[in-house]
Structure 1
């Protein structure tokens, strides 16, 4: 068999024919053939000529950058253009970002409350179908949080509406030649508390609110006493 391979090499046949002759040979016979022919001749016979012509990258226009082969490693020490670092800006405290307008912000993102209301309805429906205690606790927590957020938003709206109403009354009194009467902060605070208590009473939540305030004050007193004893 090895003599046949040598004859094929002598006849300058392609490596496809030579590989056909080699496929029936054992591994031991292949090793002996490799030793006899030499590694270079053996590899050429089996794998063919690997010296392929290198691809030349040409530019269509001399002003274009030259196309480089992806197989060629990039030179490590290359000159990099330095970029000036700009300090990070916080839009909350940067004058270049403009001033915060709470009224405009609330108006632009008013749709979020509608999304929260939809989420609340979805969670309430999920709570009815939930059976796993862990899932029930999680849903109840999310419902409570959404209810608190919506309640706080409604309170803010009512407060804003009252302010606008008071401003309107003051302007009307000034137009009529009357002396405007401005309420003190303490008076405004008392009126807000009264309206809050009336609202809670009408909804039947006054008792629960008072109990929560008692617990809160009790905790504060306990902390204050502990710091004094230390």
Structure 2
């Protein structure tokens, strides 16, 4: 009979929203709430009983079901927080390349200034190692600029193809305003 009432209570608790359960816990008191509503947790806790020494000269009694590590863990290492990279996380939204390029267009001016500064520094330096490093850096900047320009041209070509396809279907072209 007592098992039936406990099962009924558990069934009723599972239907109650969590907010109401927390309010009930505050009204009744934490100890009383735990004693009445969470008896089924105590059954699971018995499996993890703490083995103690029978006397101080004996070694601690251990469960044979647990894996024994080779190294005794003296210091507990805190768990590392799992870091996320917003570039690859879907929760951070979808990448809009047009908006991105418009938002960070000021960086192109900064890169041009850096490039000019590096060129003047490469001309002025007499150290061959430093000069070589600056020249390789300038070459990398050139190749990046060329690849960006090619990507821009490809995207423009694809956009024109889509416009032509829509024109063949008889739809009017849509002209995007330059205002952001």
TM superposition score normalised by structure 1: 0.36
Higher RCO structure (Cα 8 Å, ≥6 apart): 1
Higher-Rg member (1/2) = 1
